[in-house]
């Protein structure tokens, strides 16, 4: 069973990650996608070209920094990140039992019907009695894989002007999208593990009417 104090800490980390890191990242990704839809018919023209270039630079800087923050490793400085949360779960994996997970469900009938199914889906194995260490480690490795290029971009181009920056391969917009998608999937998975419920989708606004005033 997870000690109450530890569970409280993890849920506080989840809340901070969701409200201060994940939600702004998803909003920026969605607005940038809407921007691309609006400027697509004007590619090759000078219509709002400088503004579009500036918005793209701002997007890359924001998303690169946000992804770098979410993938931050544990250090001597107190920080909050998805990576740090996963590493804490890895160190305490023996506490993440099915018996403990079942306690998320208030209704015993619902628990018997769905808890094992949901736990198995999250854990990646059938009839698991505890959450596998290998699953958490694989997710940490996947987070590292999809964010490595973005962290290089942020460290060498955005946060610093590294003299060796022109020797590295930069991530594409597709790489940025992939990193955001994987981060969202992993966050959703472990939020459900720790709370019994997936996160609500971020409320996204349709800003295309405003953008079309510039790119009709």
> In a 3-state reduction of DSSP, which class is residue 97?
strand
Question: 148 burial class (0-12, 13-18, 19+ CB within 10 angstroms)?
Answer: middle
Domain boundaries, the chain: 4-96+131-211
Could you give the CA distance from residue 204 to residue 59 in angstroms, rounded to a whole number?
16
pLDDT in tens, 152-196: 999 888 888 878 878 878 899 999 999 999 999 999 999 999 998
pTM (global) more than 0.85: yes
> In a 3-state reduction of DSSP, which class is residue 130?
strand
* 216 residues of the chain, pLDDT tens digit each: 788 899 999 999 999 999 999 999 999 999 999 999 999 999 999 999 999 999 999 999 999 999 999 999 988 788 999 999 999 999 999 999 999 998 888 776 666 678 889 999 999 999 889 999 999 999 999 999 999 999 999 988 888 887 887 887 889 999 999 999 999 999 999 999 999 888 887 778 999 999 999 999
């Amino acid at each position: 069973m997870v000690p109450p104090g530890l569970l409280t800490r993890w849920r506080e980390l989840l809340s901070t990650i969701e409200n201060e890191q994940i939600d702004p990242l998803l909003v920026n990704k969605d607005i940038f996608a809407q921007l691309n839809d609006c400027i697509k018919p004007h590619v090759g023209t000078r219509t709002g070209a400088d503004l579009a270039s500036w918005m793209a630079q701002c997007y890359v800087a924001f998303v690169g920094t946000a992804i770098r923050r979410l993938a931050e490793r544990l250090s001597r400085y107190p920080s909050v990140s998805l990576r740090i949360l996963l590493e804490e779960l890895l160190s305490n994996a023996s506490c993440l039992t099915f018996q403990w997970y079942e306690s998320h469900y208030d209704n015993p009938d619902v628990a018997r019907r769905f808890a094992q199914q949901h736990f198995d889906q999250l854990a990646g194995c059938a009839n698991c009695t505890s959450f596998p260490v290998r699953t958490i480690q694989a997710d940490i490795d996947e987070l590292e894989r999809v964010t490595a290029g973005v962290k290089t971009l942020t460290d060498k181009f955005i946060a610093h002007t590294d003299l060796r920056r022109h020797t590295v391969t930069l991530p594409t917009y597709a790489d940025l999208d992939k990193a955001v998608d994987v981060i969202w999937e992993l966050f959703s998975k472990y939020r459900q593990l720790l709370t019994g419920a997936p996160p609500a989708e971020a409320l996204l606004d349709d800003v295309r009417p405003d953008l079309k005033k510039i790119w009709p």
